[in-house]
């Protein structure tokens, strides 16, 4: 198989963890006789510094011409709470999602036996947890218009907008995924208050008729936030809108014990993007201490979702588990003799 992968390391620890994911993908290509062509470009603060734009046209063009995108992180403290900043790195991420039609964010929440003790939750709660959060990614309050502040600066407003078409698109993905898993979808909303949530319920209820083998349940977002911590093993596929999904998927990361363990995929109309959820982590940038597992597992999702390479993805996942079983890990998951980012990447690569 011959494929082109756009590599967008971004900011902070992004370049460090993405280097390890690329290292693993090169080993997969070598072992299974594939050809992956890696093409790197700029995004975020790195792109602002060199091109004055957090998502330059050149990067956009590369993404459109690639079979998949491997993305690191966006964010730089130089731009935080800086009133002089005319453009922010995070604008590049929102622009990329919208421009590429990345409508469904997929965040699997699974636990490894060897790292369960790192979670603040009791092992009997986290053991065997395996669910996926499907978050609508390019609609809702983050993109709604109008938005802004009144002239006197005393009021601010944001608009949450959804259409049935946007809801159907992401719900179809969630239902199809559920048919390959345990067959259960939980729609998380606030239908007792929000008109957009009532549209979500109405639309999803119409669609469930096409999926007789899938069970559909509804849960208000405040209750879902509690149940994800109390009984996470009960969930299979959680479907929700943009802001709720942003919050809940970050909350769910505590189940694994470290955000450095969690991958994600953003499924698009033309191409899809894969990234670790931990962000740019600027305090660790350049120190070779960040956990590369989330980036490597994002590469696994790339192999499986975009390229259909199930056997190859399984081999990498087993290599990660083997490394963890041997007690190897970076400082966020191992107290004694932690490995560096690059050392951990080498161990996983060598286990394939």
List the binding residues.
97, 107, 135, 222, 246, 250
Q: How far apart are CA 71 and CA 60, in angstroms?
A: 13
Q: Is 103 a catalytic residue?
A: no
Sign (positive/negative) of CA torsion 189, 190, 196, 201?
A: positive
Is residue 245 within 8 Å of 138, Cβ to Cβ? Answer: no
CA atoms within 13 A on the CB side of 115: 27
Q: Is 182 a catalytic residue?
A: no
Q: Which residues define the annotated binding site for substrate? A: 97, 107, 135, 222
Q: Is 346 a catalytic residue?
A: no
| β-pair type (68-73, 148-149) | unpaired
Q: How far apart are CA 109 and CA 132, in angstroms?
A: 6
Is residue 25 within 8 Å of 5, Cβ to Cβ? Answer: yes
User: Residue 106 CA to chain centroid, in angstroms?
Assistant: 6
C-alpha closest to that of 170 among 255, 244, 260, 65 = 244
The secondary structure of the chain in percent helix, strand, coil, rounded to multiples of 5, reads 50, 20, 35
Q: How far apart are CA 20 and CA 342, in angstroms?
A: 6
Q: Is 80 a catalytic residue?
A: no
Q: How far apart are CA 340 and CA 13, in angstroms?
A: 12
DSSP, collapsed to helix, strand or coil, labels residue 134 as strand
Give the active site residue among 67, 130, 250, 346: 250
CA atoms within 13 A on the CB side of 343: 11
Give the active site residue among 67, 142, 184, 305: 142
Q: How far apart are CA 169 and CA 177, in angstroms?
A: 13
Q: Which residues define the annotated binding site for Mg(2+)? A: 222, 246, 250
Q: Is 246 a catalytic residue?
A: yes
How would you label 101-118 residue by residue, b for 16+ Cβ within 10 Å and e otherwise? bbbbbbbbbbbbebbbeb
Give the active site residue among 130, 158, 246, 346: 246
Q: How far apart are CA 216 and CA 212, in angstroms?
A: 10
Give the active site residue among 31, 222, 230, 270: 222
* Active centre residues (catalytic): 142, 190, 222, 246, 250
């Amino acid at each position: 198989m011959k494929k082109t992968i756009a590599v967008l390391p971004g900011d902070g620890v992004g370049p460090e963890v993405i280097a390890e994911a690329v290292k693993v993908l090169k080993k997969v290509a070598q072992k299974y006789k594939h050809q992956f062509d890696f093409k790197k470009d700029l995004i975020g603060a790195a792109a602002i510094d060199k091109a004055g734009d957090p998502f330059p046209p050149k990067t956009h063009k590369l993404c459109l011409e690639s079979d998949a995108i491997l993305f690191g992180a966006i964010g730089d403290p130089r731009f935080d709470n800086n009133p002089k900043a005319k453009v922010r790195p995070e604008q590049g991420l929102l622009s990329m999602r919208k421009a590429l039609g990345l409508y469904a964010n997929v965040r699997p929440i699974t636990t490894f036996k060897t790292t369960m003790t790192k979670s603040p939750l009791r092992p009997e709660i986290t053991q065997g947890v395996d669910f996926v959060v499907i978050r609508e990614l390019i609609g809702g309050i983050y993109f709604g218009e109008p938005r802004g502040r009144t002239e006197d600066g005393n009021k601010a407003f944001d608009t949450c907008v959804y259409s049935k078409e946007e809801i159907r698109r992401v719900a179809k993905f969630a239902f199809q995924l559920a048919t390959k898993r345990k067959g259960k979808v939980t729609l998380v909303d606030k239908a007792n208050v929000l008109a957009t949530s009532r549209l979500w319920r109405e639309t999803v209820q119409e669609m469930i008729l096409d999926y007789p083998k899938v069970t559909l349940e509804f849960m208000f977002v405040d209750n879902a936030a509690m149940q994800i911590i109390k009984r996470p093993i009960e969930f299979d596929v959680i479907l929700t809108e943009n802001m709720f999904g942003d919050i809940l998927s970050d909350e769910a990361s505590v189940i694994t014990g470290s955000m450095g363990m969690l991958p994600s995929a953003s499924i698009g109309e033309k191409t899809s993007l894969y990234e670790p959820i931990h962000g740019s982590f600027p305090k660790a940038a350049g120190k070779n201490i960040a956990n590369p597992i989330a980036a490597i597992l994002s590469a696994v999702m790339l192999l499986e979702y975009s390229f259909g390479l199930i056997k190859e993805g399984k081999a990498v996942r087993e290599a990660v588990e083997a490394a963890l079983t041997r007690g190897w890990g970076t400082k966020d998951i191992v107290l004694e003799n932690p490995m560096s980012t690059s050392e951990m990447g080498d161990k996983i690569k060598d286990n394939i």
